[in-house]
Structure 1
Amino acid sequence: MSLSVRSVNLGFSTGIFQTAGWMKLKWEDERYRWEPDKYENIESVNLPFSKDWSPDVLLYNGLEDKFMYNKVGILEHTGEITYIIALYTQSSCSPNFTDFPWGIQVCSLKFGSWINTQYRVEYRLPSNSSVGLNEFESGVGWKIVNTSSRLQSVQHS
């Protein structure tokens, strides 16, 4: 799992933290492997996730149910599946009014799944991962000074 951020905004009066960017999920499923030379040298195919099935991803601290747009899936002949999601989130964040308006704000996005425990699926982050900022467009007054990510596994009865 990885996240790349394009833009952020925090409404001080509402406590609404808005984020736009991309989420990428990757996994491997040996049932979908094939030999390209047996199938006209096709090495990958696009998957219509939005029409059939898509991985269960929730934004636990989100203020709205719909935050994923333009889902794209790619299946490689090796069985590797990449699921790319354009997202626009609205979550809650308590503004820090110390040194307003120059203070540092700390806001979080908490992603997870409700149904994947039965399939033994766990979202994992690459070692030393952080939020990608290659496409970040600094808005008026906002500068990202640090990012971090962590995996927290919780078993529900």
Structure 2
Amino acid sequence: MAEEQNWQEATNHVLCANHCGFFGNPTTLNLCSKCYKDHRLKQHQKSTAKIAVENSLTPSRHQSESSVSAGVPDSVFPVSEPTKVDLAVPTTAVKDQQRNRCGSCRKRVGLTGFTCRCGTTFCGTHRYPEKHECSFDFKTVGKKAIARENPVVKAAKLEKF
């Protein structure tokens, strides 16, 4: 039946250049749509990496101006004095310990802890403000929000005749 209609196989079908088994297209560098998409993504990543490397290797304009004004050549950067390191316990470690425990009963909460607007983490039992004697003033915050969202609109007074 194909002979009756003079049907011929198209000769412009080319297999993907990456040999993935799909047909490629000359407009997409003889790649299939998926391989072309991957190719474009790799090109984009390479270009952003190249720009980042170039920016990190070349001194910024501020650094080069300050070194020129100080009489130092561009290739040599002034060395700053090392800073003293504080050996005290970091405050984040203390905060992490407090976040893992309920602010009322000191029960471990892990990932299921609820952080209240007062800034303390509580267990499921003490998560409500009335259960943990919350110090946050919800009433004032609510009044301020309503006042901010609904400004008072007054029309100009009419003159009496």
* Shorter-chain TM-score range: under 0.3
Greater RCO (Cα-Cα under 8 Å, separation 6 or more): 1
Greater share of helix = 2
Task: Give the number of the structure whose alpha-carbon radius of gyration is greater.
Answer: 2
Answer 1 or 2: which has greater strand percent.
1
Normalization by structure 2: what TM-score? 0.16
